Amino acid sequence: MEISNFRKINKDRLSAFLKHLENKKFSGNYDETFGKCLMILKTLLYTSSDFIPDNTLSTQSNIQTFLYSINFDVIEPDHMIQLKLILDQAADFEIYARYIESILNKSNKSLNSVLMSLWTQLGSKVLRLPIIILEKTIKVNPLIFEKTILSTVLLWEVDDLIDICSKSPLVFQTCSSIFNELLIKLNFTNKFMDFLNYFVNGVGSRCIDNNIDIANIYPNKCRYILTLRDIKNKNSTLVTKHDINDEVKKLALEYPKESICLLSHFPDLYMSH
């Protein structure tokens, strides 16, 4: 294999060449093609120094290597938007995950439309994104995450969501808040209660599998009651129904939404109340 097949990109020369191209005027049928080529060349300026095009490989393989080498964090918002056209040609899920995380890190409103477009494009697969990305989405653009949750409820495709909720208090509490609102709006229908029961039991099972105390994924104001419930369920004489009832009453008076959430997740608390 000849050494010429492995030639690093001279970014200074590339930058000068790009300025030369941008000063050219193209018209007619070449505009769109030229624009795409120019965008790819510009993106090469944001690749890592490890990226070396290899003309012995297929175009697809080179594009894949190229996409993996892009440092999205240093790219301006306008170029980030245009870059999606390239990603849609060859990007895999991992590349999209890096792209989404960079968009969230930039916190630029002009990127909201491309984020929404990509979120819709990935569909239920977004729930397989790293937890840190989902948590950032909740903080930066909660409406996008809420849309995913509502779609999940509608299709009853909650296995990925259950897994994430067992590992992330923020995701779980966000979902619980959304479900709480739905529960009230749907007037506690049996069908939604069945869904909620499936969801909570699923999260509880995953927590047991991962040796996680389920109380720890609930808000602080709910944890004491769940701890008392756990002690009581272990047949301990240290906690009585009266003790739990008192705490549930206090929660209902101070935090009614949280009390509805807790009682709907754990009906035995209501029964003892």
Domain count, the chain: 2
Q: What is the mean pLDDT of residues 236-263?
A: 89
Instruction: Note whether 2 and 116 are same-domain residues.
Output: yes
- Kindly indicate the confidence band of residue 6, based on its pLDDT and cuts at 50, 70 and 90: very low
Q: Which residue has the higher pLDDT, 106 or 234?
A: 106
Considering 122, 147, 180, which residue would you say is the last residue of a domain?
Answer: 122
Instruction: Note whether 118 and 224 are same-domain residues.
Output: no
Tell me the whole-structure pTM to 2 decimals.
0.79
Considering 87, 103, 122, which residue would you say is the last residue of a domain?
Answer: 122
Residue 50, CA atoms < 13 Å, CB-side half-sphere: 6
Mean pLDDT of the chain: 83
The answer to whether position 209 is within a domain reads: no
Q: Taking 60 as the threshold, does the pLDDT of residue 81 lie above it?
A: yes
Q: Taking 50 as the threshold, does the pLDDT of residue 167 lie above it?
A: yes
* HEC string for 120-153: HHHHHHHHHCCHHHHHHHHHHCHHHHHHHHHHHH
Q: Token pair of 144, please?
A: 């996008």
- The vertex-246 CA angle with 171 and 232, nearest 5°, equals 70
The answer to whether position 128 is within a domain reads: no
The answer to whether position 136 is within a domain reads: no
Q: What is the mean pLDDT of residues 72-98?
A: 89
CB 127 within 8 Å of CB 164? yes
Q: What is the mean pLDDT of residues 91-109?
A: 93
Domain hosting 29: range is 1-122
The answer to whether position 151 is within a domain reads: no
Q: Taking 60 as the threshold, does the pLDDT of residue 158 lie above it?
A: yes
CB 107 within 8 Å of CB 143? no
Considering 70, 100, 122, which residue would you say is the last residue of a domain?
Answer: 122
Instruction: Note whether 8 and 112 are same-domain residues.
Output: yes
The answer to whether position 196 is within a domain reads: no
**pLDDT above 90 coverage of the chain, percent:** 48
User: Quick one: pLDDT at residue 209?
Assistant: 93
- Kindly indicate the confidence band of residue 273, based on its pLDDT and cuts at 50, 70 and 90: very low
Report the number of secondary-structure helices (H) and strands (E) in the chain: 15, 0
User: Quick one: pLDDT at residue 181?
Assistant: 92
Instruction: Note whether 118 and 9 are same-domain residues.
Output: yes
Task: Report the C-alpha gap between 28 and 35 in whole angstroms.
Answer: 12
The answer to whether position 35 is within a domain reads: yes
- Kindly indicate the confidence band of residue 47, based on its pLDDT and cuts at 50, 70 and 90: low
The answer to whether position 169 is within a domain reads: no
User: Quick one: pLDDT at residue 82?
Assistant: 85
The answer to whether position 247 is within a domain reads: yes
